[in-house]
Amino acid sequence: MSGKREQWASGHGFVLATIGAAVGLGNIWRFSYVAGENGGGAFLIIYLLCVVFVGASIVFAEMALGRQASGDAVAAFENSSPGSRWRYAGWVGVIGSFLILSYYSVIAGWALKYLVGGLTGILWLAAGEGFGGYFNRFISNPGEPVAWQMAMLAATMFVVAGGVQRGIEAINRILMPLLALFVVGLAAYAATLPGSGAGWRFLFVPDWSVLLQREVYIAALGQAFFSLGVGMAVFITYASYMTRETRIPLFGSAIIVGDTLFAIVAGLAIFPAVFAFGMNPEAGPQLAFITLPQMFLAMPGGEFVGPLFFALLVAAALTSMISLLEVPVASVVHRTRLNRWGATTVIGVAVFAVGIPSAMSFGLLSGIQISGRGLLDFIDQTVSNYVLPLAGILICVYVGWRWDRSTALSAADLAGKSVGLIWLWLLRLVAPAMILLILFDSTGAL
């Protein structure tokens, strides 16, 4: 067991770190390809509904749970229900974030390779053969993706080992404002490209016929969970380092609005450019790694814009990886004699080992296909679309029903406020009902 528990230096630092957790590959790489595959504008509307009616109430609940326990994810359940099986809900978060980190670090590694390639110019030399060939050769190489994954994990471990204030809070204070600046700059630049209006229309003018496709709903729900970073105890863990004075409604809203705006502005950096250069927005997970470099090559100033974009992707990924690593590290520090350095080393090495098959899933292991998807793709889809929403239901039920009404409301700083009741009923009924409806519908059970 640890001695005195660490804390954030300030409320401001907490908000930046939590936005850092929420804003990541999910807002840039995943949002753009999932929105692209699912028709743009109409998808955006369902996504926003999922954020407001499902994701947001769970963010508040996770924060309330974490702050009152002021322990790791498991303690958040254990302390208020000693001896009950609810502690397994905490373990779902600990194991889930470990698993997400194992494949997330692979994609972050791809982004790092592209950043370094863009800066050194190697990336542009590859253009002759087309970026499709370049990307496929890279991800099918037996060793290279593993090496880049390791580099990203090593950076993440270094920050987490530094501690809550001097590691996590410090890096987020620097990177998050920079990221906001980068993404707004890129979107402004994209808006100046001739033909970019089609990208704005794609994102904001809904094609209503898309609403008839049932896959769109599950894709939007999964994307809302993944992008907010909810369900995996990240907010529980980060909120456990909060001081009592911090106000959950204010900070929670800042995180939700920040994450959503970031995804939309990133979309405004990507789609207008994709349309201006006649590329296909439905390229799938390869959008950021094949379509976009092609576009950077064609655009004036692309040798600068390209590395800037990949720097954005790497920095956003790093701050999310830090949060994913912190969840299991906090548990190990809380439950064993290992200190922060020891816990970070053990967990970091284990994540790396577990992630190797994902890194190789386009090369040596490309023969392994589950439901028509490669390993990494399959784990990502299963975790985002099923594990995160189901873990979300556990949090809804625990805070909404297992806690009594006044405990829940005061833990979330919502006692005596009319929004408190709205929050509670979103948590008790609306969010679980929407999750179940979408899950059943997507499996064809309805």
Residues that bind ligand PFF (CB under 6 A): 21-22, 24-27, 97, 100, 226-227, 229, 232, 234, 320, 323-324
Residue holding tokens 């692209």?
36
Whose Cβ is closer to ligand PFF: residue 190's or residue 234's? 234
Whose Cβ is closer to ligand PFF: residue 29's or residue 277's? 29
Q: Give me the least distance between CB of 7 and ligand PFF, in Å please.
A: 21
Q: What is the dihedral of CA 61, 67, 71, 77, to 10 degrees?
A: -30
Whose Cβ is closer to ligand PFF: residue 141's or residue 286's? 286
Residue type, 28: I
Whose Cβ is closer to ligand PFF: residue 266's or residue 290's? 266
Take residue 150 and report the two structure tokens written for it: 């390791």
- Dist CA 338 CA 333 (whole Å): 6
Q: Give me the least distance between CB of 433 and ligand PFF, in Å please.
A: 23
Whose Cβ is closer to ligand PFF: residue 260's or residue 320's? 320
User: Are the C-beta atoms of residues 69 and 79 closer than 8 Å to each other?
Assistant: yes
Nearest to 115 by CA among 319, 310, 312: 310
Whose Cβ is closer to ligand PFF: residue 30's or residue 294's? 30
Nearest to 182 by CA among 288, 241, 266, 56: 266
DSSP one-letter code for 363: T
Whose Cβ is closer to ligand PFF: residue 288's or residue 424's? 288
Q: Give me the least distance between CB of 263 and ligand PFF, in Å please.
A: 8
Angle ∠(87,92,97) on CA atoms, nearest 5? 135
Q: Give me the least distance between CB of 227 and ligand PFF, in Å please.
A: 4
Q: For 41-69, give one letter per residue: b (16+ CB within 10 A) or e.
A: bbbbebbbbbbeebbbbbbbbbbbbbbbb
197-204 and 248-276 are packed helices; what angle lies between their axes, rounded to 10 degrees?
130
Q: Give me the least distance between CB of 32 and ligand PFF, in Å please.
A: 12
Nearest to 183 by CA among 94, 111, 264: 264
Q: Give me the least distance between CB of 191 and ligand PFF, in Å please.
A: 24
**Residue closest to ligand PFF when measured from CB atoms:** 26
Q: Give me the least distance between CB of 100 and ligand PFF, in Å please.
A: 5
